[in-house]
Amino acid sequence: MEAVASDVKTNSQNLISQWEFSCDFEVDYESEENARIVYSALVVDKELQPDKVKRHMSISNGKLSVHFEAVEARFLRASFSAFVDVLTLATKTIEEFAQGIIL
């Protein structure tokens, strides 16, 4: 599994936009099935403050991609941090219980 996170970006071109801060995160599970399992486990958890943070997830070629947008950096940080904690738990669960099982 490989995780890649981009830097937090400030949208200086459109200061009127409410969603000024964004972050992209990608995890390569090298398996469409494993990526789908993690996606299914995490997609049910909605953002606690949808008026301040948006999250979009997708799967492609065994990779889970996540895009966050927030009105303030602190909301982005809190949402991203909580998401990574749950993502780590889901990933470790797959690693633990999938040993010897070809998915």
CATH assignment of the domain containing 81: 3.30.310.50
First and final CA of the chain: distance in angstroms? 14
Query: pLDDT 10s digit of each residue in the chain, 103 long?
Result: 655 555 445 444 444 456 899 999 999 998 999 999 999 999 998 998 999 999 999 999 999 999 999 999 999 999 999 999 999 999 999 888 876 555 4
Pairing of strands 53-60, 21-28: unpaired
Domain annotation covers residue 6: yes
Q: Name, in order, each residue with C-beta under 8 angstroms of 49's C-beta and a sequence gap of 6 or more.
A: 75
3-state secondary structure of 79: helix
- Structural domain boundaries enclosing 53: 2-97
Q: Name, in order, each residue with C-beta under 8 angstroms of 15's C-beta and a sequence gap of 6 or more.
A: none
CB 66 within 8 A of CB 24: yes
Q: What is the pLDDT of residue 10?
A: 47
Residue 35 CA to residue 16 CA, distance in Å, equals 36
Q: What is the pLDDT of residue 56?
A: 96
Q: How many domains does the chain have?
A: 1
pTM: 0.75
